[in-house]
Amino acid sequence: MTSQQAIEDINYATGIAKSAKESPLVGGPFGLMWGVLLSTTLCSHWAIVTGQIAAQAPALGYLWVAFAILGSVGSAILGSRVKKKPGIHSTANKVEQSVWIMFSIMLGCLWIGVTSSMIFGSGTVALFDFIPIVGFGGQGLAYGVTARTSHYKWMYYPAAASFAASIACLTVFGESHFYLIAAIFAFITVVLPSLKTMRAEYVA
């Protein structure tokens, strides 16, 4: 191999590595789907508990079960499409996927813990209000890790907004407008960043 060939091979490998590093994030559709679903569900929860929608208390349970089912089905459908996208194996996409999977497991464990406390302990339904609070904090962590390990530094902004949302929701914990505040922040911290991610993907 001549020195010229070696240089060309190195440049080629460097180009591939750079392309993988700068590949657009492909998780935007997931975020948009979950963000719209979450904002709608939180807003509906607020409408039920404040009497804006005439429904009995059990309707809240059905509401969140529907949220989980629709979200799971939507994720399965989107997952099959995302696997075919170029750049799915880039470092940024691997980090983003991993951190959001861990985030989902964390929230699932919290839900199981709250439910177990209500069944076997002295927990009340008020404990469920902690889930959005912890969820926003987890979102901030997920955005921050992605921003830290990639060139998507703009994700520090939704990370900061998510931490602010956690503080705001804890401030109004137990109030009737708790879920309305959570719905607004869900739209700001999930839907808007997802739209920006999708726009960047399409432009690329």
pLDDT tens digits along 162-183: 999 999 999 999 898 999 999 9
Q: How far is CA 203 from CA 15, 29, 198, in A?
A: 20, 15, 9
On the CB side of 175, CA atoms within 13 Å amount to 11
Helix axes 192-203, 28-49, angle to 10 degrees: 160
Which residue has 């997802």 as its token pair? 194
Find out whether 49 and 176 touch, Cβ atoms under 8 Å.
yes
| Higher-pLDDT residue of 80, 6 | 80
| Average pLDDT of span 146-173 | 94
| Average pLDDT of span 77-89 | 81
What is the C-alpha to C-alpha distance for residues 82 and 123, in angstroms, rounded to an integer?
40
Instruction: Inform me whether the pLDDT recorded for 151 exceeds 90.
Output: no
Instruction: Inform me whether the pLDDT recorded for 19 exceeds 50.
Output: no
Residue 23: pLDDT band (50, 70, 90) is confident
Q: 57 in helix, strand or coil?
A: coil
| Average pLDDT of span 5-26 | 53
Residue 90's pLDDT is 82
What is the C-alpha to C-alpha distance for residues 4 and 20, in angstroms, rounded to an integer?
24
Q: Mean pLDDT over all residues of the chain?
A: 86
Among 36, 184, 61, which residue's Cα sits nearest to residue 128? Answer: 61
Instruction: Inform me whether the pLDDT recorded for 111 exceeds 80.
Output: yes
Predicted TM-score of the model (pTM)? 0.84
> What are the extents of the domains in the chain?
25-83+90-203
Tens of pLDDT along 181-192?
999 999 999 999
Residue 5's pLDDT is 58
